Amino acid sequence: MDRTPRFPDIPQRIGGLEKLAYNLWWSWNPDARALFWALDLAVWRESGHNPIRMLAILPGERLREASEEAAFLRRYDAVMARFEAETAGREGWFTRRYGSPRAPLAYFSAEYGLHVSLPMYAGGLGILAGDYLKECSDMAIPVVAVGLLYSRGYVTQRIREDGSPEDLRETLDRTYDPVRRVLDGEGRPLRVQVPLFDPPLHVAVWKVEVGRVPFYLMDTDLETNQPWDRAIAHHLYAIQPEQRLRQEIVLGMGGMRVLEALGLSPGAVHINEGHPALALLQRVRPLMEQGMGFTEALEEVRRTTVFTTHTPVSAGTDVFPFAMMEKYFAHCCEDLGLDHTKFLGLGAHPQRPEAGFNTTAFALRMSRFANGVSRRHGEVAREIWAPLWPELAREEVPIASVTNGVHLPTWIDPHRLQPLFDRVLGPDWRDRQDDPGLWDKVEEIPDEELWRLHQELKVRLIDHLHKRARPRWERRQVSAQNVIAGGALLDAKVLTLGFARRFTAYKRPDLLLRDRNRLKRLVTDPLRPVQIIFAGKAHPADTEGKRLVQEIFRLCQDPEFAGRLAFVEDYDQALASYLVRGVDVWLNNPVPPLEASGTSGMKAGMNGTLNCSILDGWWIEGFNGKNGWAFGEEFSGEGDRFSADAEALFRLLEEQVVPLYYAYNGGIPKGWVRRMKESIRTVAPLYGTRRMVRKYVEQFYVAALGLHANGVGS
């Protein structure tokens, strides 16, 4: 049953509000959000900042009043004019430079983090994909995106009284999500059959508007499908191996079928990590059905395929037993006249051919263009996957690097910093955001003003944490001890460190727990105290990650730490936006070289939050000695790395970070503010998605789509 809300009470004069609410363009445009606030701020907050839900619950009388208010109509007309200009037309950076290609590029990813109202992400990979789509819209890149609509999302984690995380899996109510069913030519919900399944499996198709970018989602939870098949898209990253394979068949092969049903034949495909790699097999299939041999069809697909790997360890990729692959692909190979051994060989790792079908190895062999997500990760990826090209020297392995970026309009504080940048950098700074020279003007910001705005953001963060805790306390769902552990005693005047990311062993959230007495002295210093906010989820199957959550939460409950350690449960995109803007220091201390990129530090840095990070991922490129701090480079490889890095971090905090923060001069810590300016100046232009997407276009997309500058290629 279609539960899409209807809005009969919206007057015709402001009828564009419905169209605006269903396009996530509003989520990264402050003027559009302010338009909804202007209707009724209390209802906006009640709706969870979801304009679809807001329009559904807002009294019709208020909408009629707004349609007659001159001030609201001026604001409405201005927002809608910009909305139409930036979403309806195809004119933009890409088309001005390269023209309009005959076919779009299709982007496949297992997860997308676009907005908190659409929970289809687990972590950085999904947030990166969401930011990428927003930037493609801003730059008019001809992209169509494909993913899965997870009926139960990823996982909600609550902290029990003993500190252990509890996984809650509930069917999500999609009534007010910014998704709409795609209809067929007869006005019925479109259903598409996915290859390889017996009995047949069908998917419903939904559409999300991301500015200019159409984003299609597949839903397997249909009454006509078998129960086991309906569950394929229940959860992001199915844990059971065969269900994970079936999920990836739907994502990749089903996704290509959906594009075909929509009349879209992509000119090139970009695979984000190995999960959707089977889309490339589905690309081969029609070419072989047209009479091409497998080798010729494979080369045609390779010529127009881009693959991005985010995994810095070979064990981090999906590997499926060959017997399981045979079960699903034997008939497919027979139908194509394809030697199934040759097909399975495309996914075999040369050094471990018996291990199974490796989706990253398959994607690399099927792609002409491949990249890691930082310079260091590119080096690591070439080392890991060099056996696929035994005839090449390590430095010649065809895996480039495109360092990740984050979407500036989404992540830079929209209420304080963006208006400040409008004044200091000029109102066109968003269009020129990847020009480093522009950001030199940050030096002109008065120290007192930047410090005051940052303090306001810190107060906003701590108020938000208090508001999260209060309802559960009122409902007697948690003890007073757990309310304190959730941040009830945090103080905005205290130097605040943030550690927020997926909780897993290699990220070492417990690094500062190595010496608890030293940590206690740090946080309870009577003159220069420190407080630390932890946040993150452990993967449902990661028992060690869950143990780390429990260990840290129990420490947060300990009165000896004076309430200056806090763990905030159920980390999500909304909480992340408060944290990257509101803490003073962003901690990152994984085991090198296991941090492929690390985009959360970019979000923090461009807001003036200072990074204190081990030299890994993007920070090797981003750190210049004046825009934050780095540690861990002195480890010789001998002895205990954990102890050495803990000692280096403690020493850095005690000798440099804490003294600089509390070195007030004229009412503000001028040395600290100087580093804040340097962080914004160096991080914002170089680590945004504008620079990242330009590089993808210039290094890969132009060649894959057969284009050249100032026109369409042959």
pLDDT in tens, 138-172: 999 999 999 999 988 887 888 888 889 888 877 78
576-590 residue pLDDT tens: 999 999 999 999 999
To 10 degrees, what angle do helices 294-303 and 279-289 make? 130
* Type of residue found at 63: L
Task: Tell me which range, 25-29, 293-297, 630-634, 637-641, is most confidently predicted by mean pLDDT.
Answer: 25-29
Q: Domain 411-425+435-685: which topology? A: Rossmann fold (3.40.50)
**pLDDT at residue 282 is higher than 80:** yes
Given a contact cutoff of 8 angstroms between Cβ atoms, the answer to whether 613 and 374 are in contact is no
- Mean pLDDT value across residues 284-292: 89
Q: What is the pLDDT of residue 634?
A: 61
Strand locations in 221-295 (E): 268-272
Same fold, 93-156+167-404+695-705 and 411-425+435-685: yes
Q: Identify the sign of the CA torsion 91, 95, 97, 100.
A: negative
Half-sphere exposure of residue 180: CA atoms within 13 angstroms, side-chain side: 17
Residues β-bridged to residue 628: 611
Q: How far is CA 163 from the centre of its chain?
A: 27
- Interatomic CA distance for residues 57 and 26, integer angstroms: 19
Take residue 120 and report the two structure tokens written for it: 């289809």
pLDDT band at 712 (very low <50, low <70, confident <90, very high): very low
Decide if 274 contacts 359 (C-beta within 8 A).
Answer: yes
CB 111 within 8 A of CB 129: yes
93-156+167-404+695-705: CATH class: alpha beta
Q: What is the pLDDT of residues 107-117, one digit of tens each?
A: 999 999 999 88
pLDDT tens by residue, 201-227: 999 999 999 999 999 999 999 999 999
Point out which residues pair with 213 in neighbouring strands. Answer: 210
Residue 522 CA to residue 543 CA, distance in Å, equals: 30
State the pTM of this model: 0.95
Cα end-to-end distance, the chain, whole Å: 46
Reference 395, options 378, 372, 371, 373; nearest CA is 378
Taking each helix axis from N to C end, the angle separating 573-582 and 447-474, rounded to the nearest 10 degrees, works out to: 140
How far apart are alpha carbons 204 and 179 in whole angstroms?
12
Domain extent listing, the chain? 12-87, 93-156+167-404+695-705, 411-425+435-685
